[in-house]
């Protein structure tokens, strides 16, 4: 069927409810909107579902969500693991609770036991709960940091990490095999509860999660000593972070924790921000106003599902609050944890640090300093989770720290995804430790740059929505492959890594080597002077992303080189 025929079917078929039909009738004269809603089925990719909320095959709604769930249920039944059950959580977005209940009941209708959180909970706690409850899978209803019109559906497997190969591809096949909405099984909540299939969870998981976080504390005595001195401003940006962050900081003894009042309550409209993303400096407006009022030492923000963390800290020389990138806050944490563990002789001999391929090369220098083996993985924290599972199985390495540039890291192995809650906790400990030593977190970041070099990273993003946009993104990637650059203006290309073909080629010698990572639509360019550039389409948004990094001997020089490299990249895609 073409998009018009699909639209008409949704308007007429009795399987679709009246509310859906009324919504679709309201756009009957808007051809472009009808096409966008029905030109394709919302794709269930390796990251699950993500899309605009609304009626249509290319939208997040009860029908597309339960269709995906039916495919997942079929897979679980085939694997013979339905008795283990599935744990489900959701964030503050519109329709998140409704989607979570529909998801649970679809699984229940297939004889699969579910554990639904009684209220919204963050991604890291869902990841933790999968293994705590011994479930076969977990589902998180969230669109992370996307604008309010979006929602999504992320699938986790029994190890607590998001699905990876071959499980992801096998689930996608099952989801795609559900061709008709009539194939979706249903059951009432009352009947599901009666059969012991529909279960609510909450406090017991919260308590266990909190205890795991506390195990990561290095200097409890410093927190106690500085509990009245350190001032913390935090905002959950209307998401899931407020309750767990307030609880962990209170239980550790931090006395001066200020939550941004306008942003404390969950709200799917995210009314005080354009974009609920801690990567966006504008999202910190209210938090910084509060920080100046109370003279805070550190300012923290998590995204709606609380897996990402943004950071500001005071520069003691100027008194200004300075923004940290995701790379910076990760390296600040890595240096703090490793330097303190080294003093305690607590770094394992086979310790490992994991980073994504688009993250800072400072991680290489820090790994070398503390004698850790560095592992690089594809973009997506699920690959870090996969490595942790591998380490536990082979015992060849022991996980110490993992991060990606997009404001996410994991301290400990209680979860297998980014954990903004544990990152908040550790940054507050670090702030107390450094304040006790007479410096701020920003001062310490400068010390780290002086020690390892001024690594600076940036990202240039082009948003290309709809059918034409998807084709344009494909065209850009094809052009880079057909006409591989040997220069980015003044920056010479040394090595080209094509993760789709799995080949790394040295431009000067022509020697090719195999890349020992899964195939992915990514191109990476190693440039002179420890500079680099990487291009990939986003897996969750209609964007193509250009990542880049430089190294210099001063902050000004690094900033200048980064701007020049970004300018060179822009010229190549005009």
What value does the mean pLDDT of the chain take? 96
- pTM beyond 0.85: the answer is yes
Domain 455-573: which CATH class? Answer: alpha beta
Residue 535, helix vs strand vs coil: strand
Distance CA 307, CA 241 (A): 9
Intrachain domains 213-450 and 455-573 with the same fold: no
Cis amide leading into 400 (omega within 30): no
Per-residue pLDDT tens over the stretch 449-471:
999 999 999 999 999 988 888 89
- Please, are residues 435 and 311 in contact by the beta-carbon 8 Å criterion? no
How big is the CA angle at 74 (ends 72 and 76), to the nearest 5 degrees? 70
Say which CATH class 40-201 falls into: alpha beta
How confident is the model over 44-62, as pLDDT tens digits? 988 799 999 999 999 999 9
Neighbouring residues of 367: CB distance < 8 A, sequence distance ≥ 6: 353, 373, 374
Task: Report the residue count for the chain.
Answer: 574
Catalytic residue of the set 92, 144, 329, 367: 144
CB 460 within 8 A of CB 572: no
The band of 269, judged by pLDDT with boundaries at 50, 70 and 90, is: very high
Average pLDDT over residues 290-302: 98
| The pair of three-digit structure tokens given for residue 264, joined into one six-digit string | 């404390």
φ/ψ bin of 384: left (φ > 0), alpha (ψ from -120 to 50), beta (otherwise): alpha
The reply to whether 367 belongs to the active site is no
Q: Report whether pLDDT(432) > 80.
A: yes
Which class would CATH give 213-450? alpha beta
Query: Which segments of 81-147 are extended strands (E)?
Result: 86-90, 114-117, 137-141
Q: Measured in Å, how far apart are the chain's first and last C-alpha atoms?
A: 36
What pLDDT score does 384 carry?
Answer: 97
Domain assignments of the chain as residue spans, ordered by start: 40-201, 213-450, 455-573
Three-class HEC string of 484-497: CCCEECCEEEEEEE
Distance CA 447, CA 497 (A): 33
Backbone angles phi, psi at 260, to 5 degrees: -60, 110
Question: What is the spatial distance between Cα 489 and Cα 484, in angstroms, rounded to a whole number?
Answer: 13
The DSSP letter of residue 242 is H
By percentage, how much of the chain surpasses pLDDT 70? 100
- What are 318-365's pLDDT values in tens digits? 999 999 999 999 999 999 999 999 999 999 999 999 999 999 999 999
- The predicted-structure confidence for 174-215, as pLDDT tens digits, reads as follows 999 999 999 999 999 999 999 999 999 999 999 999 999 999
The first and second tokens of residue 25, run together, are: 């009738």
Q: How far is residue 390's CA from residue 350's CA, in Å, rounded to a whole number?
A: 14
């Amino acid at each position: 069927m073409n998009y018009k025929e699909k639209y008409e079917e949704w308007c007429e078929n009795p399987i679709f409810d009246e509310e859906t039909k009324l919504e679709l009738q309201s756009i009957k004269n808007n051809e472009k909107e009808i096409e966008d809603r029905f030109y394709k089925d919302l794709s269930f990719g390796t990251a699950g579902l993500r899309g605009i909320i609304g009626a249509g095959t290319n939208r997040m709604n009860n029908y597309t969500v339960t269709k995906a769930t039916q495919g997942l249920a079929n897979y679980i039944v085939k694997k013979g693991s339905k008795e283990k059950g599935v744990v489900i959580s959701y964030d503050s977005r519109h329709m998140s609770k409704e989607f979570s209940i529909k998801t649970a009941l679809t699984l229940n209708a297939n004889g699969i036991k579910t554990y639904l959180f009684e209220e919204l909970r963050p991604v890291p706690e869902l990841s933790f709960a999968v293994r705590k409850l011994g479930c076969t899978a977990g589902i998180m209803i969230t669109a992370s940091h996307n604008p309010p019109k979006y929602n999504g559906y992320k699938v986790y497997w029994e190890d607590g990490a998001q699905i990876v190969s071959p499980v992801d591809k096998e689930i996608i096949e099952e989801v795609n095999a559900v061709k008709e909405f009539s194939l979706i099984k249903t059951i009432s909540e009352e009947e599901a509860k009666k059969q012991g299939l529909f279960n609510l969870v909450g406090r017991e998981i919260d308590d266990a999660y909190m205890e795991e976080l506390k195990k990561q504390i290095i200097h409890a005595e410093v927190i106690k000593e500085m509990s009245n001195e350190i001032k913390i401003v935090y905002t959950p940006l209307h998401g899931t972070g407020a309750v767990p962050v307030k609880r962990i900081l209170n239980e550790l003894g931090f006395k001066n924790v200020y939550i941004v009042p306008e942003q404390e309550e969950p709200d799917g409209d995210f009314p005080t921000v354009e974009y609920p993303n801690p990567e966006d400096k504008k999202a910190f407006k209210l938090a910084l106003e509060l920080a100046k009022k109370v003279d805070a030492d550190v300012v923290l923000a998590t995204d709606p599902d609380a897996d990402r963390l943004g950071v500001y800290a005071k520069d003691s020389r100027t008194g200004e609050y300075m923004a940290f990138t995701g790379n910076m806050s990760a390296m600040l944490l890595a240096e703090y944890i490793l330097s303190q563990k080294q003093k305690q002789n607590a770094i394992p001999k086979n310790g490992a640090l994991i980073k994504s391929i688009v993250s800072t090369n400072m991680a290489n220098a820090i790994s070398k300093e503390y004698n850790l083996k560095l592992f690089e993985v594809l973009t997506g924290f699920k690959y870090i989770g996969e490595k942790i599972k591998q380490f536990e199985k082979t015992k060849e390495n022991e996980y110490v720290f993992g991060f990606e540039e997009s404001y996410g890291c994991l301290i400990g192995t209680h979860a297998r995804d980014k954990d903004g809650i544990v990152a908040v906790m550790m940054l507050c400990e670090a702030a107390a430790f450094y304040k006790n030593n007479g410096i701020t977190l920003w001062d310490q970041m400068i010390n780290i740059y002086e020690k390892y070099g001024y690594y600076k990273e940036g990202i240039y993003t082009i948003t290309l929505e709809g059918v034409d946009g998807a084709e344009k993104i494909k065209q850009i990637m094809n052009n880079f492959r057909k006409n591989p650059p040997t220069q980015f203006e003044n920056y010479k290309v040394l090595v080209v890594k094509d993760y789709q073909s799995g080949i790394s080629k040295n431009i000067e010698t022509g020697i090719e080597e195999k890349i020992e990572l899964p195939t992915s639509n990514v191109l990476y360019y190693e440039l002179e002077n420890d500079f680099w550039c990487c291009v990939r389409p986003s897996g969750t948004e209609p964007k193509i992303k250009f990542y880049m990094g430089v190294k210099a001997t001063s902050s000004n020089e690094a900033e200048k080189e980064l701007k020049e490299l970004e300018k060179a990249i822009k010229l190549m895609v005009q």
